[in-house]
């Protein structure tokens, strides 16, 4: 259930505080004045949502180790196979061809080895190969969410539930290696879980912090996963973007056309600097046009697309509202926030936050909600974190 984009740049953001004039209650989601007609414009929502504004600099989170250009010398020292895929761009800087799935896979292996000491990481052909810098940004901004009233909590006392971990197990890897958190990682796909288990068992630094769980029903998110009296500080999720395979292929074709246009506009050929490298090939609409980051059906699309999935997730989250401090999920398009806020209002959540992130020219975001009152947050922290 993962998405893509490499060499991503994120932004420094704040989790702004909600209205402080009145204590939180279910009535906080009501319009301020009943005499005023309800606006039909989505931009004039009555929802009291904490919004983290964008940053024009486009830099990654300050704790994200992937800020700036890749240190290919250091990466190759940690994974020598990457060298054959390193090429020079027209400016003479080292890079890779991001339309080449093998090059992207080699880069990921090098990044995981160098930054996280994860040296055994293999995923099946055709499965989602996640862009690591953007995935790391989500984890670091989620850590800020937990630290909203104090220092960032670290260690195995912090328990995180990853919905749809995929074969890469990328979020538990980054979260456990960055903060020492303990993860429960779920998926509906048995191949993904088998691969993730192999990754965990072949890296001693992951064994004690990541547990896998199979979600037997594609209609459920939390049912049969969160046990009675089990508590989680955080839920993270990267839902399928699309509602059909045709929609996936159309988006992929457009992305590859954009990559080809970018290459051709540079005029200068991308020359090989690595062993056995080949010159980048132009875009083709034939059968060889594979998704450069891969992805299986359950990772890329589902009934109702992203909005449909997140509505189901939000509805089910109410049943576990007192067992989870913060529910969160990535949201691919800002237009999708409106129906989600409306759904959360109907569920009478206590607080909603939207955290914006920026990676270069790409703006991303995640939505967060909680059913626990602010004063109860403090009790949770004092009881379980101290």
Domains identified in the chain and CATH numbers: 46-70+133-244+294-384 (3.40.50.150)
Residue 128's pLDDT is 87
Q: Work out the mean pLDDT of the chain and round it to a whole number.
A: 79
With the CA atoms of 278, 279, 280 and 285 taken in that order, what torsion angle do they form, in degrees rounded to the nearest 10?
A: -80
Residue 332 has pLDDT above 50, yes or no: yes
Q: What is the CA radius of gyration of the chain?
A: 21
CB–CB of 198/168 below 8 Å? no
- β strands within 11-150, DSSP E: 49-52, 87-88, 94-95
CA 36 to chain centre: 39
Contacts of 165 (CB under 8 A, 6+ apart): 171, 172, 185, 186, 187, 192, 193, 196, 212
3-state secondary structure 12-35: CCCCCCCCCCCCCCHHHHCCCCCC
Left if phi > 0, otherwise alpha if psi is -120 to 50, otherwise beta: which for 295? left
- Which has the minimum average pLDDT: 47-56, 144-153, 190-199, 214-223? 47-56
Type and span of the H or E element at 79:
none
Q: What percent of the chain has pLDDT over 90?
A: 60
Left if phi > 0, otherwise alpha if psi is -120 to 50, otherwise beta: which for 211? beta
Residue 145's pLDDT is 95
In three-state secondary structure terms, 162 is strand
Residue 141 has pLDDT above 80, yes or no: yes
- The tens digit of pLDDT for each residue in 26-38 reads 334 344 444 444 4
Residue 56 has pLDDT above 50, yes or no: no
């Amino acid at each position: 259930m993962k998405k893509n984009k490499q060499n991503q740049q994120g932004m420094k953001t704040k989790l702004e505080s909600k209205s402080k004039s009145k204590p939180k209650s279910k009535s906080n989601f009501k319009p301020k004045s009943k005499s005023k007609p309800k606006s039909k414009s989505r931009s004039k929502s009555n929802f009291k949502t904490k919004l983290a504004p964008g940053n024009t600099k486009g830099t990654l989170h300050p704790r994200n180790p992937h800020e700036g250009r890749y240190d290919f010398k250091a990466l190759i020292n940690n994974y020598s196979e990457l060298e054959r895929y390193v090429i020079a761009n027209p400016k003479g800087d080292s890079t890779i061809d991001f339309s080449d799935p093998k090059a992207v896979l080699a880069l990921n292996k090098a990044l995981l080895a160098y930054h996280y000491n994860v040296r055994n990481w293999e995923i099946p052909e055709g499965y989602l190969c996640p862009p690591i810098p953007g995935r790391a940004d989500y984890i670091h901004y989620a850590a800020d969410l937990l630290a909203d009233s104090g220092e960032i909590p670290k260690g195995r006392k912090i328990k995180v539930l990853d919905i749809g971990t995929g074969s890469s197990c990328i979020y538990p890897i980054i979260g456990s290696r960055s903060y020492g958190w303990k993860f429960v990682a779920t998926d509906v796909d048995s191949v993904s879980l088998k691969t993730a288990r192999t990754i965990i068992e072949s890296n001693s630094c992951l064994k004690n912090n990541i547990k896998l769980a199979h979600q037997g029903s594609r209609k459920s998110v939390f049912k049969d996963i969160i046990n009675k009296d089990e508590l989680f500080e955080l839920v993270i999720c990267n839902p399928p973007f699309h509602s059909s395979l045709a929609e996936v292929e159309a988006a992929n074709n457009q992305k590859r056309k954009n990559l080809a246009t970018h290459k051709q506009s540079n005029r200068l050929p991308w020359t090989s600097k690595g062993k056995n490298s080949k010159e980048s090939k132009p875009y083709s609409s034939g059968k060889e046009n594979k998704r450069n980051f891969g992805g299986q059906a359950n990772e890329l699309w589902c009934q109702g697309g992203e909005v449909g999935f997140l509505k189901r997730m939000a509805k089910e989250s109410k049943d576990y509202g007192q067992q989870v401090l913060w529910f969160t999920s990535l949201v691919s398009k800002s237009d999708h926030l409106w129906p989600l806020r409306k759904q959360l209002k109907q569920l009478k959540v206590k607080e909603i936050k939207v955290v914006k992130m920026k990676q270069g020219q790409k703006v991303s975001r995640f939505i967060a909600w909680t059913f626990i009152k602010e004063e109860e947050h403090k009790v949770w922290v004092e009881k379980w974190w101290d």
